[in-house]
Structure 1
Amino acid sequence: MADLAFVESPVQLLNVLEWSHARVLPAVLPAVPAQRGASGTAPRGPALTVVVLSPTDPMSRGQLRRMAQLAREEGIEVCWQEARGGRGSLPRTVRRLAPLLRAADRVVIGDPYSRYVQLLLGLFAPPLGPRELTVVDDGTATMEFTAGLARGERLVRWHRRGSRSPRELLLAPVSALARRRLVPSGRRGVEVFTALPVRAPEGVTVTRNQFAWTRARFGPPRLTRGADLVGTSLVETGVVDPGPYVAAVGALARAHGATRYFAHRREGVEKLHRIAVETGLEIVRPDLPLELIARRGPIGRTVLSFPSTVVHTLPLALAGTGVTIAVCEIAPQWLRAGASPRAQGFLAGVSGTAARDVHRLPIPV
């Protein structure tokens, strides 16, 4: 076996497809018009097996199944693993995956903060195990990961307060071992494949994700006259209060003539119902990552977003289409009292480092 990828979200699988595509084709490609739904015929690189460590929430599972089918159409082997399927699923999954992991030349992961991935990274010990490790984007956490790796910090998500609960203390050795695996050494190279602006530590190779596969596989999209608004899960992750968030969504929709709200896969039903009732927006629950939905179209001529990954990825996926991407900052008073002290600075950094052609919007009042 040459390459082995572990994915837990639809976006991770999309970026594994982009990484695989970029290994064969030049790093920077122009937008290539393609028939909608036509399968790519680009030559493949080394053999790649993708293991889906299936989550439990229905929206993520549905999108992952659609992404898995796209991967199979590209000639990639996909193994669906019910990694969270109840009692005994963890040891059963580890037993099945350990031989594959130890035989791989390269391991590709999407979420270095995942406890599952951290456990798998700890299964091999130098000099055994893969010679190369690649981290692909799973949202804006990639920015925090590379910065934390350079500073020698623990693997803690930016929206967490970093509490030392009994569970965290129990898992601390696993996290520490995984972090050591993610540091380049004479035995192992580390690559970050990303569409985000990152400052990687010395020895880490950064490869830019240009979304060449997405542009070659789908579109160009048909554009509608109105605007679309992209949802975020900042309420669900405990960063933003729901009241100010819903009010801001309504204000943006009125100011820019938005008619549709593309929900994040983690957004709750009750919040989405409230948005629909209070703003009149049509709620759309995409069956694929937004980059693919937008590229397939139809999509608004303006796409509005709060600070999130899409302010970096959509300009690449929609290059040459005439779509304008606009980002609205998160006001400090929207944050929950218990939000991580790093939240405001991190969110400001996400929008502040967006592409130069992304428009900045005033905060709604």
Structure 2
Amino acid sequence: MNRRAGNAGPSLRTLAFVESPVQLLNVLEWAHTHALRGVPGAPASGAGAPAPIPAVPPQARRTVDGSAPQAAAELTVVVLSPTDPMTRGQLRRMADLARDEGYEVRWEEARGGTTAPFQTIGGLAGALRRADRIVMGDPFSRYVQLLLTITRARDLVVVDDGTATMEFVAQLARGERLVRWHRKGGRPGPRDLLFAPVSSSARRRLTPRAGRRVEVFSSMPVEEIPDGVAVTTNDFGWTRSRFGPPRITKGADMVGTSLVETGVVDGDRYLEAVRGLAKAHGAARYFAHRRESTEKLHRLAAETGLEIVRPDLPLELIARRGPIGRTVLSFPSTVVHTLPLALAGTGVRIAVCDIDPTWLTDHASPRAQGFLSGVTDTAKDIHRLTAVALA
């Protein structure tokens, strides 16, 4: 695989759009990799900008040499805030960390009512036209695709949004329309058809050509690299330099997934699998995915005895801060690729359990089983993960 580090350059005006805590984490990783620095005390701005929250103990955050960040480049992070309370909470804390790094954070209530999208796009139009570089966490997002029609930036960067990054790069290489993997195979709905011209325009903008640079910054395995796309490896250097090393406990922890919520996996089968793995490996805690429903989590707690933990930061930071179990059990998920990097050198063992085809729902995309198997198979090959199975 040809994975090469690009040179972001110190003088470009950079605008980053994020809609999830993991996207914001990976913007910080990208800025760290390219040595972009901010101005200490950078303000928060935008509608509904949250006040700084002491989300992480000061002693847990540190620069490599103990010094404050030095101003060298401009990076403005625009949070297109979702409505989900768990996601908003994690985003507020990640925004606090971004400000600690000296970057400006612009908080937009992008979904706060019928007129919110128009107000958000109108308010961002000037900054979009002035930006030299656009960084985005989700190229499948209709919001981001619409914003791409406004910008004149010649430098476009896609940072990791989990396993979706693998599918995005493959679709771009094959010239396919941009569709999330768990929806692929279904017929386009009315909204898809209405938005098709914007999506097609975004795909063209994300295709390199003379005078336009496209970079993908990822910790995921990228095999079908489109011509002209620079792929930069995300090794979670920022996370490892600012957090930990963690205290390791003797037991095992489990990582939750939202595959039930996205309609891929049957809820009863998932509960049975969690119960079996927890019993077999002595797991005590279950780190919930931010999209997991409260009803499902209550049922998991009642029927498995697991302690349900709702992390206030992405799991990579939670695990690196610790305490964390000596073994971490996961189903196919982004974390089977990211946790080995974030926890490198700590001795924590990551174990993965494949999704049995019988767990899939009737509504699951025909692509689902192959995609999920690919996520775990590549993680086993690259990170030498342990495979676990239900008895």
State TM-score, norm by structure 2. Answer: 0.88
Aligned partner of 1:21 in structure 2 is: 32
Report whether the alignment pairs 1:90 with 2:105: no
Counterpart CA distance in 2 for 1:138 and 1:356 is 19
**CA contact under 8 A between 1:24 and 1:43: conserved in structure 2?**
no
Aligned partner of 1:304 in structure 2 is: 329
Matches of residues 29-68 of structure 1 in structure 2 within 5 Å? Answer: 35-38=59-62, 41-43=68-70, 45-68=72-95
4+ residue segments displaced more than 4 Å = 42-45
3-state SS in 2 of match to 1:330: coil
Aligned partner of 2:169 in structure 1 is: 146
Matches of residues 68-217 of structure 1 in structure 2 within 5 Å? Answer: 68-124=95-151, 129-160=152-183, 161-199=185-223, 200-217=225-242
2:321 alignment partner AA: R
Report whether the alignment pairs 1:281 with 2:306: yes
Counterpart CA distance in 1 for 2:61 and 2:173 is 41
1:242 alignment partner AA: G
3-state SS in 2 of match to 1:316: helix
Counterpart CA distance in 2 for 1:18 and 1:344 is 30
After superposition, the Cα gap between the structure-2 partners of 1:120 and 1:258, relative to the gap in structure 1 and judged at 3 Å, is same
Counterpart CA distance in 2 for 1:165 and 1:316 is 39
Counterpart CA distance in 2 for 1:346 and 1:99 is 39
3-state SS in 2 of match to 1:24: coil
Match of 1:292 among 313, 317, 321: 317
Alignment: residue pair count: 352
Report whether the alignment pairs 1:247 with 2:272: yes
**CA contact under 8 A between 1:263 and 1:284: conserved in structure 2?**
yes
Match of 1:236 among 254, 261, 271: 261
3-state SS in 2 of match to 1:150: helix
**CA contact under 8 A between 1:14 and 1:67: conserved in structure 2?**
yes
2:24 alignment partner AA: L
Aligned partner of 1:30 in structure 2 is: none
Counterpart CA distance in 1 for 2:60 and 2:376 is 31
Counterpart CA distance in 1 for 2:350 and 2:69 is 30
Counterpart CA distance in 2 for 1:37 and 1:5 is 22
Aligned partner of 1:351 in structure 2 is: 376
Identical aligned pairs, as a percentage?
69
1:9 alignment partner AA: S
Aligned partner of 1:336 in structure 2 is: 361
3-state SS in 2 of match to 1:159: helix
Counterpart CA distance in 1 for 2:217 and 2:73 is 17
1:11 alignment partner AA: V
Per the TM alignment, residue 168 of structure 1 is displaced from its structure 2 partner at its CA by 1.0
Counterpart CA distance in 2 for 1:118 and 1:162 is 21
Of the structure 1 ranges 207-216 and 1-10, higher mean CA displacement relative to structure 2 is found in 1-10
* Aligned Cα root-mean-square deviation (Å): 1.4
After superposition, the C-alpha distances for 1:153-200 in whole angstroms (9 at most, x for unaligned) are 101000014422111110111111111110001021000000000122
Counterpart CA distance in 2 for 1:262 and 1:193 is 26
Counterpart CA distance in 2 for 1:132 and 1:37 is 30
Counterpart CA distance in 1 for 2:132 and 2:62 is 31
Unaligned runs of 5+ in 1: 26-33
**CA contact under 8 A between 2:218 and 2:234: conserved in structure 1?**
yes
Match of 2:23 among 12, 15, 32: 12
State TM-score, norm by structure 1. Answer: 0.94
Per the TM alignment, residue 43 of structure 1 is displaced from its structure 2 partner at its CA by 4.2
2:75 alignment partner AA: L
Per the TM alignment, residue 36 of structure 1 is displaced from its structure 2 partner at its CA by 1.9
After superposition, the C-alpha distances for 1:136-159 in whole angstroms (9 at most, x for unaligned) are 011100000000100111010000
Counterpart CA distance in 1 for 2:139 and 2:207 is 12
Per the TM alignment, residue 46 of structure 1 is displaced from its structure 2 partner at its CA by 2.0
Per the TM alignment, residue 42 of structure 1 is displaced from its structure 2 partner at its CA by 4.8
**CA contact under 8 A between 1:39 and 1:74: conserved in structure 2?**
no
Counterpart CA distance in 2 for 1:304 and 1:205 is 33
After superposition, the C-alpha distances for 1:91-117 in whole angstroms (9 at most, x for unaligned) are 111111111111111000000000100
Counterpart CA distance in 2 for 1:241 and 1:187 is 47
Counterpart CA distance in 1 for 2:294 and 2:158 is 32
Unaligned runs of 5+ in 2: 1-11, 37-57
